[in-house]
Structure formats: C-alpha cells, structure tokens
Amino acid sequence: MSAPLPARPAHPARIVLDTFRSAYDPMLHSWLRFRAHIVPEAGASAVTAVVPDDVSAPRSQYGVWRLLATNNRELARGVALHASPGLALVDAEVLQQGSAALTTHIVRGASSTAHGWLLRREGVAAVMCARWYESAADAAAAARGVRAVLSDAVIVRSVNIGTRSGRRHRHAVVPMDAVG
C-alpha cells in the first residue's frame, strides 16, 4: 500500500477591490441593474448618490468589493457603491469583522427559477449574491457558505482597475495607495 497523501492546506477566500472608471462605465450599469433586483430599495441609478467624503478623491472613480473563491469565482459582493476603493476597503473590513451578526434574506427574481440572497446588518443591506440560483434552497446554502468564509477571507490590498470600455484586466492591478 502507498502512504496516505499529505493534507493540502486550505486557501481562504479573497476580498478584492474593483473600480468603475466613470458613471458611464457599462459594467457599472450592469452592476447597478443586478443590485436593483436583489436590493430594490437601493435603486438602479444610485451613482448620483455617491459623494466622496474626501474632496480630493476623483469623482469619476467608484469602488466596490467582491468576495472570490480560490478558483476566482465570485461568491458575493458588497451592496454599497463607494466614492473610492479606499472606502470600499473600509466597508469590507467592517463587514468582515461583524460577519457573525449578518442575517440572511432570500430574494425571488423575475422567474420561478431565479433566487438570490442578501445579507443584512442591523436591517441594512450589506452583502449580496453575485448571481441567480435555481432554487431558494441553493440560494440559502450559498449565503450560508459566504457567511462561513467571509470572516477568514484575505483582503487583497490592491485595486483592479477597469478600462474605459468597462473591461477588467487581471494585469491592471495597482497598490491601494496609488488610487485612494
């Protein structure tokens, strides 16, 4: 008989930061439309509601955070659209620290085979699914999985920069201090 295989170390999920380069970014509009289905109170045109706390922050750059599995599949995304990647980082850190207090809400889409989920913190929408699921049970299981890995996820302290066309490139990553 051969020797047993050594245990492989488990790699934690990652929280990555992304930007939308302008209010006209097609990916931003897609992101907002999906968010409006999951969080109707957020609306689909919330770009005008984003005001930077820091007046030196570029007004045409918006930041969001996403939770990725080890295979780069998007598991979840933050609900808030931030005025900068730095503010998205702060949001991710706060939610990560309070992940045990998040409550799950299942959302039904436009068809009977479209279900999503939303995690709320003190009644406020905080984390949402990144895709639709075929059943409410699948959506609930995915939300439980996100709650289980969010607290241990590694925050990548760099920013994925989108292009003017809205495309994302793996190599267009810059350190946090270069963007704000």
Across the range 92-119, mean pLDDT stands at 94
pLDDT digits (tens, 9 = 90+) for 61-80: 788 999 999 999 999 999 99
Report all structural domains of the chain as residue ranges with CATH numbers, in order of start. 14-178 (2.30.29.80)
Asked whether the predicted pLDDT for residue 55 surpasses 50, the reply is no
pTM: 0.80
Nearest to 95 by CA among 53, 41, 150, 56: 150
pLDDT digits (tens, 9 = 90+) for 2-38: 788 777 767 889 999 988 877 777 888 889 999 999 9
In sequence order, the 6+-apart residues with CB closer than 8 A to the CB of 94 are none
Residue 152 gets the label, from left (phi > 0), alpha (psi -120 to 50) or beta, of alpha
